[in-house]
Amino acid sequence: MALQCGIVGLPNVGKSTLFNALSSARAEAANFPFCTIEPNVGVVTVPDRRLNVLELLVKPNKVVPTVIEFVDIAGLVKGASKGEGLGNKFLANIREVDAIIHVIRCFEDENIVHVAGSVDPLFDKEVIDTELQLKDLESVDKKIARIEKIAKSGDAKARKELEVLQLFKQGLLDGKNARAIEVDKEELEVVRDLHLLTIKPVLYVANVDEGSIITGNKFVEQLKENVKDEHADVIVLCAAIESQIAELDEPDEKELFLSEYGLDESGLNKLISGAYKLLDLITYFTAGVQEVRAWTIKKGWKAPQAAGVIHTDFERGFIKAEVIKLTDYETYKTEAACRENGKIAIEGKEYVVQDGDIMHFRFNV
């Protein structure tokens, strides 16, 4: 599943520095706006200790982790919704991603200019929110104009849709992101075809200085308070530290570096895992001597859908799935021992795959 998270933020908030740390693909980092003109795409491994456990138990020829794509999107300025700066390109790139990683500057440094002249995370967030909301408002208004004509003819469905569209319009006019507007699943379908920018799930990244990496600071607290109604997480990290960690090759060196800052895991690991969760994804595994592999699926998928990620024939000709829980695999050490002790469940087409399942599919095409 080629799912993408777009990294956005005002110029000089640490966006490209963070991307460079995330990925081997290098975006130019510079102390001026628009140094990243075209979106850069990096494929990043999702950290998962369960793969390490399976590798020790199975001793496969190779281990294949699951991945997620991050897109470093050109910085935006006020007026982007009207085409200012790189606005049109920025908004088009946002529309293509599945989720948004919004990097916000929460550090002071007189050597790094701020586009507004001073550090203000709420201002930074509001600039981008406003531009995205204005673009969404434009989309909603266009659909309202179409639906109003049908609703005036007495069409009950159109009248209901118009009510929902007016609800979204008012919310956007009030400065709300579409994801914060309270609607049910049926009402959400009314705007699904609009692909609203502010309805995409978002993860906020508070980029702090080295001294604030553990305790945070006043800027972080302001940001957390501001986004609480969006049901969005805030991850605190220091992009400068993360870029240093990314340059270390040995795991022991990384652990030592982290311990010097009082950290038990890197901010990047938290970000990658957070993005994975944000997209409502889970992982299941296949495990054999040739290969131990992690597979990405949407939470709630049934066994045939999960099998289809490996190959469409697996879904089309699905017969059954053999499922082992990781805890049982750890206890009994081998697949054979799990089978002997009745720890392999035989599941059919209605089985909902659980995060961490170790699966073997039977199919016939």
Domain locations in the chain as residue ranges: 4-125+200-278, 128-198, 300-363
**pLDDT for res 50:** 96
CATH of segment(s) 300-363: 3.10.20.30
Distance, in Å, from the CA atom of 354 to the CA atom of 321, rounded to the nearest integer, reads: 13
In 3D space, the residue among 263, 218, 235 whose CA is nearest the CA of residue 107 turns out to be 218
**pLDDT for res 298:** 94
For 4-125+200-278, which CATH class?
alpha beta
What distance lies between CA 266 and its chain's CA centroid?
Answer: 17
When mean pLDDT is compared over 18-27, 31-40, 167-176, the highest value belongs to: 167-176
Assess whether pLDDT exceeds 70 at residue 85. no
Mean pLDDT of the 313-339 span: 97
Q: How confident is the model at residue 292 (pLDDT cuts 50, 70, 90)?
A: very high
pLDDT per position as a tens digit, 96-145: 899 999 999 999 887 766 666 678 999 999 988 998 999 899 999 999 99
Question: Quick check: do 4-125+200-278 and 128-198 share a fold?
Answer: no
Q: Is it true that domain 128-198 has CATH number 3.40.190.10?
A: no
pLDDT per position as a tens digit, 138-183: 999 999 999 998 998 888 999 999 999 999 999 999 999 999 899 9
Distance, in Å, from the CA atom of 280 to the CA atom of 320, rounded to the nearest integer, reads: 25
**pLDDT for res 246:** 84
Residue 167 burial (CB < 10 Å; 0-12/13-18/19+)?
Answer: middle
pLDDT per position as a tens digit, 181-234: 999 999 999 999 999 999 999 999 999 999 999 999 999 999 999 998 887 899
